Amino acid sequence: MIICVLHLAPSGMKLRGHLGSEVQRKAAGILLIEKELDQNTSVVKALKVREGSPLEVPIIRFGWSNAEGRHVYLGEVDKESAHTTRINDLREIATETFRGRVHVNNRELRQILQDTFGIQERTARTYLKIMLDAEIIEKSSQFPGDFRLVNKETG
């Protein structure tokens, strides 16, 4: 087993550099650790899982315990909060994907999801449905088979 610590590119969910790209392609799993802004805790979530969907892996919370003098497990994030976090991840990927573009075709968007999460095409289709249901993206009325980013300010 090889464990590698990498950093995400400042612009989003993509791993930095050649090593990051290679690890993303070959890894059995990629975990993302994020500090929660409103609390003094961090969460660990799956960014990629070779077998299965990262959306099905529970998000765990941990934080520093002064009493024990170390980081301690604080339990899983509740389902509703986990769902919101995952929707936010998909929204971030969509925002990055549509930066400077109005439309992205179905196949390209699926491929981006597959590459980002290391998932199969069938799971990428499920993610697209989640993104449509959450009104992150919508089908283009001008170009059949294309999607566009939903702009919340203008509807």
Determine the pLDDT at residue 155: 43
Determine the pLDDT at residue 34: 82
The C-alpha atoms of residue 97 and residue 104 are separated, in whole angstroms, by: 8
DSSP secondary structure letters along 13-74: SSBPHHHHHHHHHH-SEEEEEEE-TTSSEEEEEEEEESSS-GGGSPPEEEEEETTTTEEEEE
Which amino acid is residue 81, in one-letter code? Answer: S
Q: Please check whether residue 40 is in contact with residue 64, taking contact to mean a CB–CB distance below 8 angstroms.
A: yes
Q: Take residue 84 and report the two structure tokens written for it.
A: 């919101």
Give residue-wise pLDDT tens across range 1-37. 777 777 766 656 666 666 777 777 777 888 888 887 6
Determine the pLDDT at residue 18: 66
The C-alpha atoms of residue 118 and residue 111 are separated, in whole angstroms, by: 10
Q: Take residue 100 and report the two structure tokens written for it.
A: 């400077």
Give the residue with greater pLDDT, 96 vs 48: 96
Q: How many residues does the chain have?
A: 155
Name all domains of the chain by residue range, CATH numbers in brackets.
17-149 (1.10.10)
Task: Give the percent of the chain with pLDDT over 90.
Answer: 28
Give residue-wise pLDDT tens across range 28-44. 888 888 887 667 889 88
Give residue-wise pLDDT tens across range 72-120. 999 998 878 777 878 888 998 899 899 888 999 999 999 988 888 777 8
Determine the pLDDT at residue 16: 64
DSSP 50: S
Give residue-wise pLDDT tens across range 137-153. 999 888 888 999 997 55
DSSP secondary structure letters along 63-95: EEETTTTEEEEEEEPPHHHHHHHHHHHHHHHHH
Determine the pLDDT at residue 149: 92
Asked whether the whole model's pTM tops 0.85, one would answer no
Give the residue with greater pLDDT, 69 vs 49: 69
Strand order in the sheet with 60-65: 29-35, 41-49, 60-65, 70-76
The C-alpha atoms of residue 5 and residue 144 are separated, in whole angstroms, by: 41
